[in-house]
Structure 1
């Protein structure tokens, strides 16, 4: 698994939220966001799409888990009522390039956190997300972006 440490910028995002167990409903929400972005001519090779599971289902009841399908938008872009708006704080992230299959994603999640601890990092208190950008919006790879800081 490819890993790099990088400083990501703050992102202004438009998003559609799903509340409930993670799974097939997330795909529907992502399609809803992409359809909105296509209508607004925001979906192109420069687009950055984010998939943000907001809650840990081991701690939060699956029925209360929040999932956001997002697209990065410019600061001046005017949103309509079909989507919500948020900011995603940048900073230092461990970025894992992963083939976007259920098996590879599951394998990645099983190794990311022990790998970070071994390298002297701890997870920072910002959202972890999957990022699809440039060519990756058309192929089956994504970046799993984990906010990090050095262990105290």
Structure 2
């Protein structure tokens, strides 16, 4: 698996949230976000799109799991009432480049945590997220970004 450690900046985000089981329905919320971003001239080759599962389905019941489809926006961009606004904290992240398929993402998630522990890291409390660069429709890969800190 292609892994690198990087310091990411704080991201100001516009997002659309779905509450319910993770899975194929996440695509619907991502399409809603992309449609909004296209109408507002934000969906282009330099766009950074994020998918953030906010809850662990092993701890949170599936019907209460939150998924945010996000786009990074500039500090001065004024959002409308179609999307919500938030911030994703920066810091040190392990970044895994994987093929953008449900199978490959799941395979990566099955090994990431033990991989990081073996390399002397532990998972930080910030959200884990998927990051897509440019126009998502043209990209077969995504980054799984895992917040890390050195083992104590």
The answer to whether the superposition gives a TM-score over 0.5 is yes
> How far does residue 134 in structure 1 lie from its aligned partner after superposition?
3.0
* Change in CA separation of 1:114 and 1:85 when aligned onto 2, cut-off 3 Å: same
Structure 2: distance between partners of 1:51 and 1:135: 14
Which aligned pairs between 1:61-140 and structure 2 lie closer than 5 A? Answer: 61-134=61-134, 138-140=138-140
Correspondence for 1:45 = 45
Secondary structure of the residue that 1:115 maps to in structure 2? helix
Q: Count matched residues.
A: 152
User: Given that residues 49 and 137 in structure 1 are in contact (C-alpha distance below 8 angstroms), is that contact kept between their aligned partners in structure 2?
Assistant: no
Which aligned pairs between 1:25-40 and structure 2 lie closer than 5 A? Answer: 25-40=25-40
Unaligned runs of 5+ in 1: none
Ranges of 4+ aligned residues in structure 1 off by more than 2 Å: 134-137
Q: TM-score, normalised by structure 2?
A: 0.98
User: Given that residues 47 and 135 in structure 2 are in contact (C-alpha distance below 8 angstroms), is that contact kept between their aligned partners in structure 1?
Assistant: no
